[in-house]
């Protein structure tokens, strides 16, 4: 794929740099909030707008905040999704504006809350809608019943980790006995590496830069990320969330060359093993003089490569985790669940990285289209 025509549009760039300036997360960028003695998050009024065509917390802010808490809950059989989602959307607006007493005076800064509904709820609105299909089971899963699926996703992200449980508590209190929590997971991201062409991504706890390949331009996002229809879901997307625990001691015992062979990129520079820079696409055809692939046959970037799989791009926005074990809360957004399912099917059995993982929680959600004061969250789906 040529990168020359894949630069973000000026609008996307202005939006992204605006968000970076607002959060003070850009390298060397000191906002008043970043000075010693000030709260760690940006002051009220400079946060990420929660309303609009798409929910925040997917492409914005850029780069993503360093802390995440995902809460997965079930909806009580007797509770109507429409009023619940409208309540939650209203609360997201007041929380992100710093105008809700349940924030206990904490500045919201770059807080985002992204809300999705699980397949069971989507099916009540239409069996053929995007988001109505359950995630299939895969090998290397050890999931308690409680940790598979769920009706409601609350993805809460912020630069200030202290906000996360406070915001989760406010949202769950608002939902009251209409929801029952299933599982929750917190995660962190380190500082980002600038990859080039407007793309930056953090390292995961394997030490590799994670999140390079994805729909980063406006055109790619329109094509691969956002749902264009039908009307009740237009502007939404499909999320996959999987807690992947990693056998870190076993991976760390490999030589750097073997770690790189498992991933298919250099650990220090993120360049593909076929050469170039971090921004280069892996050249899957490139071989050594003795006929071996430079990007090994079982390497992760080859097995997951969208062209090799024959699917579109997924936006990966994963967070590293430490509890209950070290690993990755893998999060991807795409406008077709098959982008994920076909990729994982292609990885299964032959992806060298996958051999170090055990997946202990997983679910898919329809991330609802954006909302505002006039159009409550979920209103087009659950009238
Ligand atoms: C513990 C689990 C995982 C880790 C640590 C991990 C890490 C990485 C890293 C470091 C890269 C290379 C840089 C980049 O493009 O971001 C990568 C690429 C990628 N990963 Fe993963 N990943 C994991 C699981 C998954 C899963 C479950 C999927 C989807 C089913 C996936 C899909 C992809 C895709 C599509 C790419 C881009 C491949 C390319 O075209 O070069 N990953 N991953």
For ligand 1, atom 42, which residue shows the shortest CA distance?
304
- Choice from 300, 320, 344, 348 to test ligand 1 binding pocket (greatest atom count within 8 A of CB): 300
pLDDT, residue 383, reads 78
pLDDT, residue 1, reads 36
pLDDT of 23 > 80? The answer is no
Atom of ligand 1 nearest to the CA of 211: 16
Bridge partners of residue 67, in order along the sequence: 158, 188
pLDDT, residue 22, reads 33
Q: What is the pLDDT of residues 265-277, one digit of tens each?
A: 999 999 999 999 9
pLDDT of 26 > 70? The answer is no
Atom of ligand 1 nearest to the CA of 246: 1
pLDDT, residue 203, reads 97
pLDDT, residue 55, reads 98
Taking residues 9-20, report their average pLDDT. 32
Q: What is the mean pLDDT of the chain?
A: 90
Q: Please give all residues whose beta carbon lies within 6 A of any atom in ligand 1, as ranges.
A: 204, 206, 208-213, 244, 246, 263, 265, 282, 300-301, 304-306, 314, 328, 330, 340, 343-344, 347, 353, 357
pLDDT of 36 > 50? The answer is no
Comparing 4 with 334, the larger pLDDT belongs to 334
How would you write 65-113 as a 3-class SS string?
Answer: CCEEEEEEEEECCCCCHHHHHHHHHHHHHHHHCCCCHHHCCCCCCCCEE
For ligand 1, atom 31, which residue shows the shortest CA distance?
304
For ligand 1, atom 18, which residue shows the shortest CA distance?
301
Atom of ligand 1 nearest to the CA of 327: 1
On whether the CB atoms of residues 201 and 211 are closer than 8 A, the answer is yes
Q: Kindly give the distance from the C-alpha atom of residue 210 to the centroid of ligand 1, in angstroms, as a whole number.
A: 7
- Cα angle 24, 269, 311; round to 5: 85
Atom of ligand 1 nearest to the CA of 306: 40
pLDDT, residue 154, reads 99
On whether the CB atoms of residues 371 and 89 are closer than 8 A, the answer is yes
What phi, psi does 320 have (nearest 5°)? -75, 150
For the CA atoms of the chain, what is the radius of gyration? 20
pLDDT, residue 349, reads 82
On whether the CB atoms of residues 362 and 143 are closer than 8 A, the answer is yes
Task: Please tell me whether residue 119 adopts helix, strand or coil conformation.
Answer: helix
Residues 6 or more apart in contact with residue 223 via CB below 8 angstroms: 215, 312
pLDDT, residue 43, reads 46
For ligand 1, atom 33, which residue shows the shortest CA distance?
304
Q: Is 8 left (phi over 0), alpha (psi -120 to 50) or beta?
A: beta
Residue 160: C-alpha distances to residues 92, 173, 178, 309 (Å): 17, 21, 28, 38
Distance CA 320, CA 53 (A): 29
Q: What is the pLDDT of residues 43-67, one digit of tens each?
A: 444 699 999 999 999 999 999 999 9
pLDDT, residue 6, reads 35
pLDDT above 90: percentage of residues in the chain: 87
Calculate the CA 255 to chain-centre distance.
Answer: 30
Structure tokens that stand for 368 in this block = 């609802």
Residue 144: C-alpha distances to residues 225, 243, 341, 359 (Å): 30, 12, 21, 11
- Choice from 1, 268, 316, 357 to test ligand 1 binding pocket (greatest atom count within 8 A of CB): 316
pLDDT of 198 > 90? The answer is no
Distance CA 188, CA 209 (A): 14
Q: What is the pLDDT of residues 87-112, one digit of tens each?
A: 999 999 999 999 999 999 999 999 99
Tell me which of 19-23, 118-122, 166-170, 184-188 is least confident.
19-23
Q: What is the pLDDT of residues 222-253, one digit of tens each?
A: 999 999 999 999 999 999 999 999 999 999 99
- Choice from 304, 308, 326, 343 to test ligand 1 binding pocket (greatest atom count within 8 A of CB): 304
- Choice from 140, 210, 242, 309 to test ligand 1 binding pocket (greatest atom count within 8 A of CB): 210
Q: Kindly give the distance from the C-alpha atom of residue 50 to the centroid of ligand 1, in angstroms, as a whole number.
A: 28
pLDDT band at 15 (very low <50, low <70, confident <90, very high): very low
Comparing 42 with 238, the larger pLDDT belongs to 238
pLDDT, residue 340, reads 98
pLDDT, residue 46, reads 61
Q: Kindly give the distance from the C-alpha atom of residue 181 to the centroid of ligand 1, in angstroms, as a whole number.
A: 29
For ligand 1, atom 11, which residue shows the shortest CA distance?
210
């Amino acid at each position: 794929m040529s990168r020359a025509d894949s630069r973000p549009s000026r609008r996307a760039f202005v939006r992204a740099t605006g968000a970076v300036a607002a959060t003070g997360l850009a390298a060397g960028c000191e906002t008043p909030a970043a000075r010693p003695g000030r709260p760690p998050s940006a002051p009220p009024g400079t946060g990420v707008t929660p309303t609009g065509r798409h929910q925040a917390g997917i492409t914005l802010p850029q780069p993503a905040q360093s802390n995440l808490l995902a809460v997965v809950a079930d909806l009580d059989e007797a509770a109507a999704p429409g009023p619940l989602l409208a309540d939650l959307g209203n609360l997201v607006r007041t929380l992100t504006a710093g105008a809700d007493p349940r924030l206990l005076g904490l500045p919201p800064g770059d807080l985002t809350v992204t809300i999705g509904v699980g397949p069971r709820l989507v099916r009540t609105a239409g069996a053929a809608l995007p988001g109505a299909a359950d995630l299939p089971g895969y090998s290397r899963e050890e999931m308690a019943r409680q940790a598979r699926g769920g009706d409601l996703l609350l993805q809460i992200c912020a630069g200030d980790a202290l906000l996360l449980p406070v915001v989760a508590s406010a949202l769950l209190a608002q939902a009251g006995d209409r929801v029952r929590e299933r599982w929750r997971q917190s995660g962190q991201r380190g500082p980002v590496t600038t990859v080039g062409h407007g793309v930056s991504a953090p390292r995961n706890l394997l030490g590799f830069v994670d999140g390079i390949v994805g729909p980063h331009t406006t055109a790619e996002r329109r094509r691969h990320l956002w749902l264009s229809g039908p009307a009740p879901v237009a502007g939404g997307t499909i999320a996959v969330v999987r807690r992947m625990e990693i056998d870190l001691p076993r991976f760390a015992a490999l030589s750097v060359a073997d770690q790189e062979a498992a991933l298919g990129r250099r650990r220090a520079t993120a360049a593909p093993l076929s050469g170039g820079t971090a921004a280069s696409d892996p050249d899957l055809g490139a071989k050594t003089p003795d006929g071996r692939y430079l990007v090994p046959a079982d390497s992760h970037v080859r097995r997951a490569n969208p062209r090799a799989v024959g699917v579109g791009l997924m936006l990966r926005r994963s967070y590293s985790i430490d509890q209950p074990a070290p690993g990755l809360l893998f999060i991807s957004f795409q406008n077709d669940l098959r982008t994920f399912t076909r990729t994982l099917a292609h990885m299964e059995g032959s992806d060298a990285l996958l051999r170090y993982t055990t997946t202990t929680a997983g679910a898919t959600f329809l991330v609802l289209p954006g909302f505002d004061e006039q159009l409550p969250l979920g209103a087009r789906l659950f009238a």
